[in-house]
Structure 1
């Protein structure tokens, strides 16, 4: 599943081609995504894209009438910037054609992504209103994590994957950040000291920034907007390395299940 670095990579890939551009046409080839693509998107012709940004794993396009498109890559989606006359690929479900001679296409084989439209304040949209802070923002730090943990007995890995606590820290990046912070993923969140949470907040930022620089992580379906894979997988310390030797201490990487997800850690480096 594309996570925050993959979505940020996508944003940076499409922004130069769409920012401040006028929409020439909208083509809905299959409206049956996670939620049906609303018919209002067909009325966007002639509007310009005033701003593109990311909130959690949602791509947001602010239009010149102050309405917004909300887009999500789902489990296997990707976006490409192409010439409008390029032959459609299988699973190209949605297309924005711009007056500059380029088109944005959403390809989503599993159709778990979304294209939604709203003319309500974007901050109060039901998909965005209750989200936690962005992990790369100044508002996210160890003090915030310690406060969110309180006396909770939930595993710390589940805490940092909770989008109400902090957005976009998916399974891969949670495992890697906990490794760098030296914290076992199954340690109770409420029993971790502030100093360790300060280290964890810093490693979350570090891991996400490195992944963005590398263009995301390819495990199954993710491709960048240029069709190339992300390369952060080559830098993984523990994720997917069960029964292999730790690159730091040599002990065997362990795989456990937390919250129905595979969780990897080194018993020598993480306590």
Structure 2
């Protein structure tokens, strides 16, 4: 491994040289001449590719609604989270943080609860205000983001966001937020929180967060869940009564004469 010290760093591959970034430094390595793949490595590569595509779909659905700056490791963290959760375990995405430095639990010590009717309930609690040389935070902004994704067709079928502002100088007695995103697919619910001082929002990654708080799978309709009606079996044509055979001659049945 070599460290790239240049005025114009790059990432990617040029010829047999690969440039990549690790711990904030640009490094170089040579590409292997031969790559041996086993069944396990092929399976792992296929699994990682599926997780990467799903992660890209989630980011493209939610990132446009975010008002915070996710950390630079968001892509790798989300892909790893998806792989750990399982291929089709969408519920395993709950608690993922779009800001890897701070979770929602730092700004809301009592977690919000999202119900299937589209209501987010934030319990009453004591809210801590951020303080710096310029003063203490005056407001807490809470943004509810919901997006519906059809993972089968890899499409975003709907998205909506609502925002409330909480006065940090007054006791907080709880709040409710409602959202409705009809359509086909899985509903991902994200709660973003950030504090504001007098002159604007706090530019400190330790005091803003955005977490996935709920994943709601699409409910199947009653018609699709109903059991198919059983069809009556048609009665076949009755067989003709056979005559009674009493003896065989040359393997042929001989009919008894009256």
TM-score (norm 2): 0.23
Q: Which has the larger radius of gyration?
A: 2
If asked which structure has higher relative contact order (CA below 8 Å, sep 6+), I would say 1
Structure (1 or 2) with the greater helix fraction: 1
Question: Which is strand-richer, 1 or 2?
Answer: 2
